Every structure is written in C-alpha cells, then in structure tokens.
Structure 1
Amino acid sequence: MSIEKLKAVPTFEGVPEDQLQWLLNHGELKTFKDKEPMFRPGDPAEYLFVVFEGEFRTYIFNDKGKKYMDSFGVNTVSGVLPFSRIKEFGMLCHSCGESTIFRLHRDLLGDMIRHNYELTECLVHTMTTRVREFAKVQTQNEKLMALGKMSAGLAHELNNPASAMARSGKELKKHLSSVPERFKAVMSMNVNEEEIDHVNTFIHQKLTAPKTAMTLIEKSNLEDDLTDFLEDKGMEDVDDIVGALVDFQIQEEDLEEMYDELGDQNFASTLGWVGSQLITEKMVQDISEASERISSLITSIKSFSYMDRSQDMQKMNVHEGLQSTVKLLEHKIQKQGHQLDMKLAPNLPEIDGMPGELNQVWMNILANGIDALEEKGTIGVRTAFDDENVKIYLTDTGKGIPEEIRSRIFEPFFTTKGIGKGTGLGLDITKKIIDKHEGTIKVTSQPGNTEFRITLPIKSNIE
C-alpha cells in the first residue's frame, strides 16, 4: 500500500508526509466480505480505522429487534480516536459488499500523540466533530422519544372522550327518532294545566338537583324497585326509562306521587315523555363532559408547549407547568395501576423562568420516575418556597438509583436503559436547563424512595 492512499483522505489534509508514513508503517490492511461484521455489540474497541474501499452499515438492537442507524464509506475515519474513552461498541457494524479498511491498534495511540502533533490534531478535530454531531442527533432523538411517550398517552386520552362523543351522538340520533311517537301519545292525553305544571316542575327539580354518590349495590337496588313498580302499573320494556330514572336518582316514592297526580290513564304516556327527556339530557351531558375533557387536554398541551406564547425568560407559575405535565402523563400513571400524590403549596410566588424548557424538566424526571416504578407505585409532586427560592420535589417509589452510578446520572450519554431505549441525554438536558435558570438539582435515592430536589430563584439575574 502506498502513502498516496492516506494523502487522498480529506481528514489528513495538511498532515506532514513523515507522519503519514509513521501511520502507514504501524498500521495494517483488513478486508471484509459481504455482511461480515467489523464489530458487534460488546466487542472491545481496539482500532482506529480508515475506509479505503466499500461501505459499512451500523445497527442498534432494541426490544423490537435490529434497527438501521447509519452507513459510511470511502475516506471515513472512525473507531478509537486519540483521547477517546470508548471501551466497547454498542452496535453492530458489517460490510456492505467487499470492503477494505486501514487500521491502527489503540496501543499505538500514545506514541502517535507524543511524536505526531499534526496527525493527532486532525484526528482530535474529527473526534470533536463526531461528538458534536452525535450529541445533536441524540438530543433530537431524546426529544422525539419524549414526544412519542406523550403522544401515545394523548392518543389514548383523546380517543376515550372522542369515542364517547361518537357513541352518545349515535345513540342520541336513534333516541330522537322515537320522539314523534311519544309526542303523539302526550298530545292525546287529557290533562289539565295544573298537572302539566306539576310534571314540568318535577323534571326541572330532578335535572338541577345535586347528585349524591351511589354504590353499585344501591344503584342495582333502585333499578329493581323502579322496575317492579312500573311493571306493576302495566308498563313493558322499561329498561331504558329505568336507567334514566336511576341516573337522575328518581325514587319509587317520586313515581308514586306522579301516579297519584296523573292517574292510571295518563301515567304511562307522561312517564314515557319524562323518561325521554331525561335520556336526552343524559346523552347531552355525556357529550358535553367528553368535549370538556378534550378541551382540557388541548389546554394542557398548549400550556405544556407554551404554544402562542414567548419562549423567553418571563414571569411564570411553576404549578401551571407541573399540572399540565401531570395531565399529559395521567394515562400512563393510571394504566399501570400507580398513584399520584400531588401537594402544591398555596400562594406559590411566580418566578423568572422559561416555561417551555422547565416543562421539559418536569417531563423528563416524571417520565423516568414512572418507568422506574414497579407494581402499584406512587409518583409524588410537591412544592414549597421561601423568601428567595421556589422548591420542587419530584419523587417515585421505584427500585432506586444505585449509589455507584448516582453521581453520573447527569453526565451526557450516561444511561441505565438498554440499547435503543434511552439516549442518556434526558437528565443531562435537565441539568443544563436548571443551570441556565441559576437553580440547583440534587437527587437522593434508596429502594422505594427516589427524590429529585429542584431549587429555582424567584428573581433571576439573567437578562
């Protein structure tokens, strides 16, 4: 192999020829067949390499199998670079077709650093560029992962009320088709004005009366009592009417009073009309509650992302961000059978902060806490304040963070999650945001109790 091969590599532009000759003298060529791995997950990182011919592709493995990451070809310089701390590879890299690399063992890097300054300098520049680009990609991945988690919960949360609205709308349409027949029956009745007023007053009272909580047994007993009463009066197919009467907590004595007022001839038709009104009201209530739920979720999304509002430093209420974040994670908490313990200090002062960025902090920590929980755990959110600071305590009852890694959790790219399940940038980003706000973040942890303590100044010195 000639030195001209190395001179043609853009990374080595400007490197003295004697230093390239040193590299050539101490390295070796290695050829790979199609699909032959250069390295696998867990393999020791032993070589700096330059691709001379062919192409390589990289993959990571997650719980869904193998995922394509990237490809690189001729003139790529990678592997173990000067001052790199990489010990082993976390991905698969194999040749795409027959490929050839030139490689230098890491044991020779010390000698290269001592005697080949320009060569070392260009390789260090390559490493810093690689780290910067990797960090950019991983930061984007971290945001996408957080967005994915939030979107999954939102899809479920929005689907429930949307389905309820569609179902109630369909039932309401079907129900309203029977109104003309009921109206016809009412019009054929012989009732006086006083009796009509009595029925109207009765309906109004039941629609506006506050409801008390009823157990399933109490509801079942009331259904049985009302069904028996109506069937005794000769009415048939009363299930729908009884359901509406129970929803509005109408008792047997209410029906007895109506029966005494209207008499046997008019009771069934009148009750059919009353039941129809109550059923309509219940369906409208269901649609209204579902639409309010959707509106509440959209409000939470807008509050979390600070849509239509400035992302700059501004006066803000920490509680708004915490509540909107919890709302977005509520489905995940409930789905897994966990509990939420939220204790927010009254009269919490506003702080100078960037709401969108702080919401990312709450999301990162709380989502991690939920992931750490085992069966029927608890997520805690508590706030407090003094004359100078607002304090936020985010806790979980999960397995805890081992002492030997606790000091490293804020390091970039450090993660305890499996390959493909975390980028190791969530808490790094979190700490950078807190630092930007001139605040502090500390963690204490033991099995069953992990607590992140965040302190934010009420007044910021940031312009």
Structure 2
Amino acid sequence: MVYQIIERLLEIDQLKEVPRNQLEWLVEKSDCRSVKQGDYLFKKGAPIDKMYIILHGHFILKIQQNNQFRVIGSLEEKAITGALPYSRASIATGIAEAAENAEVLALDKTYFKEMITDYHELTTAFVHVMSTRIRHFTKLQQQNDKMMALGKLSAGLAHELNNPSGAVIRSARMLRKHLALLPEEFKKVIKIKIDDQQLDIVTDLLFDKIKDGVQHIPLMEKTDREDSIASWLEEHDFNDGYEAAENFVDFNFTEEDMDTIAEQVNGKDLVPVVNWLNQVLATEKLVNEIEDASQRINDLVKSVKSYTHMDQAPEKQPANIHTGIDNTLTMLNHKLKKAHINVIKKYQEDLPKPMIYISELNQVWTNLIDNAIDALEDAEHKNLEIQTKQDGSFVKINIVDSGKGIPDEVKDQIFDPFFTTKAIGKGTGLGLDIVQQIISQHNGTIDVDSKPGRTEFKICIPIA
C-alpha cells in the first residue's frame, strides 16, 4: 500500500524530484482517507490544520456569498491543498465537496517543523506549491475585486442616469401632447387684429421673461403669486386659471404684466392671446427641462470618461487631483445620497498638478471613499471630509470620515493582502493593498490615524 501511494506521489509534477525516502516519511506520517461523494474535505470555519494530497477523485470548491454558495473552482486529482509550510492561513473560508468518491492523503501540520528541519527537498516542493497558490488566488481575488468595483460603478451609473433619462422621456411626452393642442389655439390667434406697436409690447414682454428663464421663487411667495394670477385669469374669463398661473409665475409674470397685456389686446381677443402666451411658456419650460436633463446625462458620461481615462494612454502626466476626486464622488453619488452622508471639500484652489497615472489614482479615491461610506453606515454624524494642500514639493490628500474607527488590534493589518473586516461578498481584502501599491508606484506614502469618530487616511504624492 505504501509503495502504491509513493508511486502515485511521484506522478505529481511538484513531487517527482523529491527523494524517495522523503516521500516514504510523508506517507508514514500521513493518514489515507476515503471521502464519499457529497461529503466534505473541509467546511467553512474549520481550522486549516492538515495538508491534503488528492490521490483519486476531485472536489468542488464553493464560498458563501449573500447566504448562497457559489462555485469558485475545483480540486482535481494530484492537487495539493490545505495547510502548507510557512502558510499563515488558519480558518477555511469555503467548502470542498467531493464530486465523486475520493482518496486523500492527510498530513497534520504538527509534522511541518520536523519536515522543515530534516526534509529540505520535500519542504521546497510544498513551498513552491504555496507560491503558485498565492499567485493564482491573488489573480482570482483581483479579478473579483475588479468585478465588484465594476458592479458598484454600473449600479451607480444606472441610478444616476435613471432620474435625468426619466425626466427627458416624461418631458418629451408632455411636449408632444402639448404641441398637439397648438393648431386650435393658432386658429384663434391668427384671427386677432392688433397693430405693430401693440404686438411689440406683448412680444417684447414675453421674450424678456423667456430670456430671464424660470425663476426660483420661495414657496410661500410663489403660492401667493399663483393665487393672484389665477384670480386675474378667471376674472378675465380664462378657464383652468390655476394651471396656467404656474407657468406665468415660473417666468416671473406679475399682475401688472397681465394688465399690460390686457391693455394692448381687444377684450374678446384677450383669452386667445393669453392662451397662446401660456402655450409658449409651457413649451419653453418643457424644452428647458429636456435640455437640463440631457446636460446631466452628458456631464455624467464625461465624468465616466474622465474617471476611467479611457481616451488616454496609460502614462504619467500632470493632472488636477480635484478632477479625479470629484469624478469619483460623482460615480459614488448614489451611495452617498442613500447613506445621507455630508461631503465636505477643503481644497487648495491653486494646488499644483502632480505627475500621476490618472486612472490608477482614481482607483485609490474609489477604494478609500467607498470604505469611508461603509464605515459611516451606523455613525451618528455622517461626515466625509476631503482635504488637499501643497507641502513643499509634495501634494497631500487627506480623506477623513466620522465613522466608528479602526480597532487598534487590526490597524497594523489593514494594508495586508486579503485582510478584511467586511462580510463575505462585501470585500476581498485587496482594496487597501491595491491602494498602497498604487501610491508606492507614484513614489508616495499613505498612513492612517484612527479613533472612534475620526479615521484619517493621509496620502502624500511628489509633484514632479
């Protein structure tokens, strides 16, 4: 039996150069286990205290996200998994379920010290396995992190685009319905007899009001003025006075303006003229709403383009730090509004433009601001403060939140790869590791000060 297992181990690429006597030691110290189809090699939360070599069969790897298990890969025949020499992993984060009846060699990690001391080739082989596993896991987690970031970005865009696009559709439908009423009103208008001077007074008044645009009047004052205009309209035989009064007040018409119009128009022609004026104002307002909503969509698309820097080569160039931060805030605006977070900007207006990789640094702002939003979830006062200033030949950026703070016992670990205090599905533990890598890529530094009610990430980037 031992001979057969050793022959099986020699078929594994990572172990085929290991001396036979060391493989004999491995088999002697290990247990050979049978795992039935549907049973588990390990479960979530179990201690990682054994190394496993799969001699026969294969296992499905799953992790739990949002109360459901998701398949993330498999362990095939000849795979080496579980605890490895020098590995710091201690608790399983997922499960390995047997897809068929399997045979597994299990070595308890208590034998690692003896192996490291006396069996160097065997130890080296397993260290190489660990290095490969780290590279693979890092690549997988980075991909997951990018997909999560893309998901957040997509959700934010969908949310931010929903309101202006809905406004465009709503205003366009109202405009179509509104324009359908114009022919009847036009027939009444062209029958009116009015001299050029009178016409000029009315049209000059109208287009002066349109030129000034819709006015933002305090609610109480606006209500009083609408009542006044509505009463005037009804006194002059105008139907639906209150509906038309809103348009006239929006464009700052007063009772005196309405009297001016009445003075220039024959009594029987007053209603058609006022109807025509109301139609022009309503059309203007709907067109303005469509233009404003379209501009918001255009601004958002520009922010996305600038944020991703999709139209530029990935090279360092002088850039406005504030533009990147503001674009990031635009991308995350839906989360900021949903959480009722107060954003405070303390920007140095004449801040120099450092040489940076724009898209990469936007990832820094995204990770730090997104983390701050999460930290403020249960905070009593929800403030996010962003400070920028020049300090000699450096630019300093501080991102401060009023959340619960980072516990002292984990403060030294927050930049470690895969370390996270978030629940599964909410974070990969790569965000701050990526932030640190990008800041280092810019020859800069990042530090954190934290206490309950104030966490401050301090970034320093050279200008040149």
CA distance in 2, matches of 1:449, 1:232: 63
Q: Are 1:456 and 2:461 an aligned pair?
A: yes
Which of residues 411, 420, 437 in structure 2 aligns to 1:432?
437
What amino acid is aligned across from residue 163 of structure 1 in structure 2?
A: G
1:68 to 61, 66, 71: 71
Q: 2:424 aligns with which of 419, 427, 431?
A: 419
**1:141 is aligned with what amino acid?**
N
Q: Tell me, what secondary structure is at the counterpart of 1:136?
A: helix
Matches within 5 A, 1:7-406: 7-209=10-212, 212-373=215-376, 374=378, 377-406=382-411
Q: Distance in 1 between matches of 2:297 and 2:363?
A: 22
Looking at structure 2, the residues matched to 211 and 221 of structure 1 have their Cα atoms a distance apart, in angstroms, of 17
Contact in 2 for aligned 1:438/1:457 (Cα 8 Å): yes
Which 10-residue stretch deviates more, 28-37 or 357-366?
28-37
Q: Which moved more, 1:237-246 or 1:83-92?
A: 237-246
Residues 34, 97 of structure 1: 8 Å contact kept = yes
Shift of 1:111: 0.9
**Contact 1:11–1:77 (Cα < 8 Å) also in 2:** no
Which amino acid is the alignment partner of residue 332 of structure 2? L
Is the partner of 1:407 in helix, strand or coil? helix
CA shift for structure 1 position 211: 5.5
Contact 2:444/2:461, CA 8 A, preserved across alignment: yes
CA-CA distance at 1:64 after TM superposition: 4.3
Question: Which blocks of at least 5 consecutive residues in structure 1 are unaligned?
Answer: none
1:223–1:242 Cα contact (<8 Å) kept: yes
In structure 1, distance between residues paired with 2:213 and 2:207: 12
Give the letter aligned to residue 29 of structure 1: C
* Residue of structure 2 equivalent to 1:408: 413
On the 8 A contact 1:60/1:420 being kept in 2, the answer is no
Q: Which amino acid is 2:36 matched to?
A: K
TM-score (norm 1): 0.96
- Secondary structure of 2:87 counterpart: coil
Q: CA deviation at 1:210?
A: 5.9
Question: How far apart, in 2, do the equivalents of 1:334 and 1:252 lie?
Answer: 40
* Distance of 2:274 and 2:97 partners within structure 1: 78
Q: Number of matched residues?
A: 459
Report the 3-state secondary structure (helix = DSSP H, G, I; strand = E; otherwise coil) of the residue aligned with 1:381.
Answer: strand
- Return the alpha-carbon distance in structure 1 between the equivalents of residues 130 and 349 of structure 2: 51
Q: 2: CA distance between counterparts of 1:230 and 1:263? A: 15
Rounded Cα–Cα distance in structure 2 between residues aligned with 1:167 and 1:213: 21
How much has 1:439 moved relative to structure 2? Answer: 0.9
Q: Which moved more, 1:372-381 or 1:287-296?
A: 372-381
The Cα shift of 1:117 comes to 1.2
User: Do the aligned residues in 1 keep the contact of 2:231 with 2:241 (CA within 8 Å)?
Assistant: no
Gaps of 5+ in 2: none
Point out the more displaced range, 250-259 or 183-192: 250-259
Give me the whole-angstrom Cα distance separating, in 2, the residues matched to 1:145 and 1:448. Answer: 28
TM-score, normalising length from structure 2? 0.96
Out of 231-240 and 397-406, give the one that drifted further.
231-240
Between 343-352 and 58-67, the greater mean CA deviation after superposition: 58-67
- Give the conservation status (yes or no) of the 8 Å contact 2:385–2:400: yes
Q: Tell me if the contact between 1:377 and 1:397 (Cα under 8 Å) persists in the aligned partners.
A: yes
Distance of 2:121 and 2:73 partners within structure 1: 29
Deviates more, 1:232-241 or 1:299-308: 232-241
Q: CA deviation at 1:281?
A: 0.6
Question: Within 1, Cα distance between the matches of 2:83 and 2:141?
Answer: 20
What displacement does 1:239 show? 4.4
Amino acid at match of 2:375: A
Which piece of structure 1 moves more, 434-443 or 259-268?
259-268
Q: Which shows bigger deviation, 60-69 or 347-356? A: 60-69
Within the candidate set 441, 447, 450, 1:445 is matched to 450
User: Which secondary structure state, in structure 1, belongs to the residue aligned with residue 75 of structure 2?
Assistant: strand
Report the Cα distance in structure 2 between the residues aligned to 1:319 and 1:362, rounded to whole angstroms.
11
Which shifted more, 56-65 or 339-348? 56-65
Cα deviation, 1:153-193, whole Å, max 9, x if unaligned, reads 11111121111111111111111111111111101112111
- Determine the C-alpha separation between the residues in 2 that align with 1:23 and 1:386: 59
Matched residue SS, 2:332? helix
Q: 1:96 & 1:119 partners in 2: Cα distance?
A: 29
Corresponding position: 1:6 with 2:9: yes
How far is the alpha carbon of 1:387 from its aligned partner? 2.6
* d(CA) in 1 for partners of 2:236, 2:102: 91
Residues 338 and 378, structure 1, Cα contact 8 Å, conserved in 2:
yes
Deviation at 1:212, TM superposition (A): 4.9
Q: Following the alignment from structure 1 to structure 2, what is the Cα–Cα distance between the partners of residues 395 and 149? A: 21
- CA shift at 1:134, angstroms? 0.7
Alpha-carbon deviation of 1:403?
Answer: 1.5
For 2:415 and 2:333, locate their aligned partners in 1 and report how far apart those are by CA, in whole Å. 26
For 2:229, give the aligned amino acid: L
How far is the alpha carbon of 1:243 from its aligned partner? 2.5
